[in-house]
Amino acid sequence: MKNFILFLLILSTLNATKVTDIAQIVGVRDNHLIGYSLVVGLKKTGDSTSSGFTNQSIANMLKAMNVDMLSTSVKSKNVAAVIVTAKLNPFSKQGDKFDITVSSLGDAKSLEGGTLLMAPLRGVDGNIYALGQGSLSIGGRNSSSAGSQSHPTVGIVYGGGLVEREIPIDLYHKQYVTLSLKESNIVNSVKIQKAINRIYNTQVAVAMDPRTIKLKKPENQSMIEFLAEVEEIDINYIPKNKIIINERTGTVIAGVGIEIKPVVMTHGDITIKINEQTNIKSPKGSTSIDKDLVIGLKENEVYTKKGTTTVANLVRSLQKLGATPKDIISILEAMKSAGSISAELEVI
């Protein structure tokens, strides 16, 4: 059997879920921040002396500290120019701390052991909302495991971001708010509307479209109390069937009940037969995967005793045949194109 690792994760379907798990309040979201600064204290693994913007940044920083020198005079290899990124959570207050990510902008070999100098972090409007500073941590990025970088150029400063300006979100004084489903689904939108109205025994929720539900606050509650109750309401959620494939790692994630309709196809030396016959007899010497799936005598065929099977069973059978992740991905994509799989197929 060919050497490969295939991870098959079966996602179980729940009959009920809370509103907060499938919907979010419009306007209440994270805000992305970005900044530029220098990382110092590197052991000759910083940007080369030919990096003009790094040398200029060093000269500008020193000038602000009353050390006047030309950028052409800077020869240090212990400094690296970096871009700092972060997400500012909603309702963050002045003085709150958060993690920031630091990524090399120049040709530095490693940021290991470095310290980020104060970086103003700006929002999309250009205003400064936070400051970032602190010692970098590269965690397991420098390990010897497969896929790790021997000279990491990305690090994290845990708790290195400090909120300077709050982003105001006033929910308390609102009479109306809007819920947005994370996945567009008209059935779930109506289910949420009916579940909320049933609990409050009045028309406080209206489904506007497959993704939007408008809410009106009851007279005897604040908006915060109302939303806290709404988010805890259970509904019979209908998840969208989806198969997610990671081509790089060969990971296949599929719902446990996603069926494959009758099809006959050949991929390389593998033949797959799924048809409407119900009394197929297993050939002598064949291998049963389960009560419905069988690997053929020549060990290059997969067929089913029933008129259908699931993606999870098929992938397990193909794995036993020694199919590579690339083979499995190609087979699933071909079945989707042929209409044998109705679930959405997403390749990442």
The CATH number of residue 196's host domain is 3.30.1360
CB atoms inside a 10 Å sphere around CB 81: 23
Region of 266 please: left (phi>0), alpha (psi -120 to 50) or beta: beta
Provide the residue range defining the domain that includes 191. 17-27+170-235
Percent of the chain topping pLDDT 90: 41
What is the chain's mean pLDDT, rounded? 80
Closest of 131, 133, 137, 134 to residue 95, by C-alpha = 131
Q: Indicate if 271 and 334 belong to the same structural domain.
A: yes
Among 211, 235, 259, identify where a domain stops: 235
Among 163, 181, 212, identify where a domain stops: 163
12, part of any domain: no
Q: Indicate if 145 and 68 belong to the same structural domain.
A: yes
Q: How far is Cα 122 from Cα 130, in angstroms, rounded to an integer? A: 7
Distances (CA, A) of 316 to 10, 50, 322, 325, 343: 11, 54, 10, 11, 18
Q: How far is Cα 301 from Cα 276, in angstroms, rounded to an integer? A: 17
Tens digits of per-residue pLDDT, 71-103? 777 778 889 999 999 999 999 999 999 999 999
3-state secondary structure 239-307: CCCEEEEECCCCEEEEECCCEECCEEEEECCEEEEECCCCCCCCCCCCEECCCCEEECCCCCEEEECCC
Q: Indicate if 152 and 183 belong to the same structural domain.
A: no
Residue 113 burial (CB < 10 Å; 0-12/13-18/19+)? middle
Q: Indicate if 189 and 248 belong to the same structural domain.
A: no
CB atoms inside a 10 Å sphere around CB 189: 22
71 DSSP assignment: G
Q: Indicate if 225 and 324 belong to the same structural domain.
A: no
Alpha helices (H) in 125-262, listed in sequence order: 186-200, 223-231
Q: What is the mean pLDDT of residues 234-256?
A: 75
Q: Indicate if 268 and 324 belong to the same structural domain.
A: yes
Q: Indicate if 227 and 251 belong to the same structural domain.
A: no
Among 143, 163, 183, identify where a domain stops: 163
Q: How far is Cα 341 from Cα 83, in angstroms, rounded to an integer? A: 44
| Domains contained in the chain, number | 3
Tens digits of per-residue pLDDT, 127-164? 999 999 999 998 654 443 334 444 589 999 999 999 99
Dmax (CA) for the chain in angstroms is 89
Q: Which residue has the tokens 């006033």?
A: 170
Amino acid (1-letter code) at residue 275: N
Closest of 43, 20, 62, 55 to residue 109, by C-alpha = 43
Q: Indicate if 275 and 187 belong to the same structural domain.
A: no
Q: Indicate if 225 and 128 belong to the same structural domain.
A: no
Amino acid (1-letter code) at residue 191: K
114, part of any domain: yes
Tens digits of per-residue pLDDT, 194-224? 999 999 999 999 999 999 999 999 988 999 9
Q: Indicate if 78 and 149 belong to the same structural domain.
A: yes
